[in-house]
Amino acid sequence: MDPRTGKPRERVAAEATAEEVDRAVRAAHGSREALADRAVRAAFLRAAAGLLEEARDRVIETADAETALGTTRLSGELARTTAQLRSFADVVDEGSFLDVRIDLPDPGAVPPRPDLRRWKVPLGVVAVYAAGNFPLAFSVPGGDTASALAAGCPVVVKAHPGHPATSALCASLLRRAAAGAGLPEDVVVLVHGFDAGVALIRHPLVAAAGFTGSVRGGRALFDAAAARPVPIPFHGELGSLNPVVITPAAAEERAKEIGAGLAGSTTLGAGQFCTKPGLVLAPRGEVGDRFLDALAEGVAATGPAVMLDHRIRDAYVAGVAERAALAGVAAPVVPGARDGHAVGAGVLTVDAARLTGDGHRLLLEECFGPVTVVARYTDREEAAAVLGLLPGNLTATLHTTGTDGDPDPDAAPLLAALVPLAGRVLVNGWPTGVAVAAAQHHGGPYPATTSTATSVGATAIERWLRPVTYQSTPGHLLPPELRDGNPLGLPRR
């Protein structure tokens, strides 16, 4: 379906049958020994980045036609994707992800300690469920795939139905890079179709899964993963409200700047980011009004945007209408349907006191798209009471002011209330834009993620590994990584 016209496009792929899923998983499983060589893995990831760059114009054109995300955003996303592939190649080379720990024997310990040498080995075939809102960076060549391959796990990707042609193109590039690096092409296999995704999570040879998507879909797959005769780890990123708290002192100091910044973060990419700020606690009174005016001005100035597909558009239009209809909810900028297949961004406001009642819980659920809800609070206690009602989040943001010598009195207590809610807390910034870095954490309490792991950054590789300890094993039977003298020069403890 063309998101800009709503017209059906040519059919690019068939949905995989259960037999085809079985063949895909077995093919991937058969390739796992070849991935054991870390140098080959790293070369493969770099080659994949290179081929994606070579095919850049075609990749972006294909993705734009399927997602309407635009060439600027998609160029950035491709650069992020190739940088991510290369960063995981660096992680493979550096080797600390193997978490090598060696305990030499100690017969005097209680109980006596033999020679113990631990490292981490790949889990096996990883099922990756691609996201709709990032056709590259969280899809076929994205972080789940890159981190699983870096760990030494073959990948079967379940394509997102929103961009099947982009998925097929990227899979073919990854498979070509694998062949070029001397690996079987089947280290990456692509399947399409809803039923294929269900068959995949149940397949006995699938050892773990990564998912980015909705709470409903992710929870169904999580449940299926847990219900298997042999349960498997399911690392799902499901949904996040991404609360923002603005202290009175921050609003006093820079109401306009915060309002403009929030408008940009909320409407970026038509609000189709998992880290879009969806609930903002802003002070009542004049400083809060100034902030709200700047926010409304910024959002109103945003042109209509085409969302990823008609289903997401319809959900957004219905979601904002349902929220706007709640008692006491105002809409300084009315979100909803616009001409053609576009939608308009918007701002909703409500008294914070309403949120602690039962009737307004909907405002504490994510609404995917370019809208944010501003809740006006009277004092820190009221703000903290609202925060206490929130589910888990990927991010939580505090806007404050002050310094060590002259601190904002609300900053420390509100930050302390935000940390339990999220995997990443930001001060005086915006949550959209997730850096790929060693210290990144993109995850958070449920439903933000279904595990304590991150899907972005170097430690995302930890999801696809399990420890194995060798006890009293002669050197010639140990992996070189664990031998005396550290022949591979790895970081070891």
Catalytic residue (one of 77, 274, 366, 382): 274
Q: For strand 234-237 and strand 279-283, is the pairing parallel, antiparallel, or unpaired?
A: unpaired
Q: Taking CB under 8 A as the rule, does residue 438 contact a copy of itself?
A: yes
The least CB distance from residue 216 to a copy of itself, in Å, is: 14
Helix (H) or strand (E) holding 467: strand 465-471
Tokens for 147, please give them: 């981190």
Give the bridge partners for 305, in sequence order: 343
**Cα–Cα distance list, 188 to 14, 28, 162, 163 (Å):** 18, 7, 20, 17
State which residue, 42 or 421, has the beta carbon closest to a copy of itself. 421
Q: Taking CB under 8 A as the rule, does residue 323 contact a copy of itself?
A: no
State which residue, 181 or 425, has the beta carbon closest to a copy of itself. 425
Spatial CB neighbours of 392, under 8 Å, sequence gap ≥ 6: 240, 421, 422, 444, 445, 446, 447, 448, 449
Binding mask 275-294 for a copy of itself (x = CB under 8 A): --------------------
Measured distance CA(65)–CA(74) in Å, rounded: 11
Q: For strand 330-333 and strand 346-351, is the pairing parallel, antiparallel, or unpaired?
A: antiparallel
The least CB distance from residue 95 to a copy of itself, in Å, is: 13
Binding mask 81-120 for a copy of itself (x = CB under 8 A): --x-----------------xxx-----xxxxxx-xxx--
State which residue, 243 or 391, has the beta carbon closest to a copy of itself. 391
Measured distance CA(188)–CA(145) in Å, rounded: 8
Helix (H) or strand (E) holding 96: none
386 CB burial (10 A radius; 0-12, 13-18, 19+): buried
Q: List the one residue out of 243, 324, 256 whose CA is nearest residue 286.
A: 256
Q: List the one residue out of 217, 342, 211 whose CA is nearest residue 270.
A: 342
Residue 104 backbone dihedrals phi, psi, to 5 degrees = -75, 160
State which residue, 104 or 301, has the beta carbon closest to a copy of itself. 104
Choose one: 41-49, 151-159, 160-168, 452-460; the region binding a copy of itself (CB under 8 A). Answer: 452-460
- Selected from 27, 445, 486, 488, the binder of a copy of itself by CB under 8 A is 445
Site size for a copy of itself (CB under 8 A): 75
The least CB distance from residue 397 to a copy of itself, in Å, is: 9
Q: Map the footprint of a copy of itself across residues 26-65, applying CB under 8 A.
A: none
Is 94 designated active site?
A: no
Binding mask 120-159 for a copy of itself (x = CB under 8 A): -x-x------------------------------------
- Selected from 422, 455, 460, 461, the binder of a copy of itself by CB under 8 A is 422
Residue keyed to tokens 């930890």: 462
The gap from C-alpha 234 to its chain's centroid, in whole angstroms, comes to: 14
The neighbour count for residue 442, using CB atoms within 10 Å, is 27
423, amino acid identity: G
The least CB distance from residue 2 to a copy of itself, in Å, is: 28
Q: Taking CB under 8 A as the rule, does residue 486 contact a copy of itself?
A: no
- The answer to whether residues 243 and 377 touch, using CB atoms and an 8 Å cutoff, is no
State which residue, 49 or 320, has the beta carbon closest to a copy of itself. 49
**Cα–Cα distance list, 372 to 155, 215, 302, 365, 485 (Å):** 36, 19, 14, 11, 57
Binding mask 382-421 for a copy of itself (x = CB under 8 A): ---------xx-------x--xx--x---xx--x---x--
Q: Taking CB under 8 A as the rule, does residue 70 contact a copy of itself?
A: no
- The answer to whether residues 178 and 97 touch, using CB atoms and an 8 Å cutoff, is no
Q: Map the footprint of a copy of itself across residues 334-393, applying CB under 8 A.
A: 391-392
Choose one: 139-147, 188-196, 335-343, 447-455; the region binding a copy of itself (CB under 8 A). Answer: 447-455
The least CB distance from residue 114 to a copy of itself, in Å, is: 6
DSSP string over 195-233: HHHHHHHH-TTEEEEEEES-HHHHHHHHHHHHHSSS---
Q: Map the footprint of a copy of itself across residues 183-222, applying CB under 8 A.
A: 222
The least CB distance from residue 431 to a copy of itself, in Å, is: 8
Q: List the one residue out of 145, 175, 165 whose CA is nearest residue 60.
A: 165
- The answer to whether residues 400 and 412 touch, using CB atoms and an 8 Å cutoff, is no
Q: Map the footprint of a copy of itself across residues 457-476, applying CB under 8 A.
A: 459, 465-476
Is 170 designated active site?
A: no
Binding mask 236-275 for a copy of itself (x = CB under 8 A): ----------------------------------------
Catalytic residue (one of 66, 237, 366, 382): 237
State which residue, 103 or 351, has the beta carbon closest to a copy of itself. 103
Choose one: 49-57, 227-235, 261-269, 367-375; the region binding a copy of itself (CB under 8 A). Answer: 227-235
Residue keyed to tokens 């439903």: 447
Q: Taking CB under 8 A as the rule, does residue 233 contact a copy of itself?
A: yes
The least CB distance from residue 14 to a copy of itself, in Å, is: 33
State which residue, 283 or 423, has the beta carbon closest to a copy of itself. 423
Q: What residues are annotated to the active site?
A: 237, 274
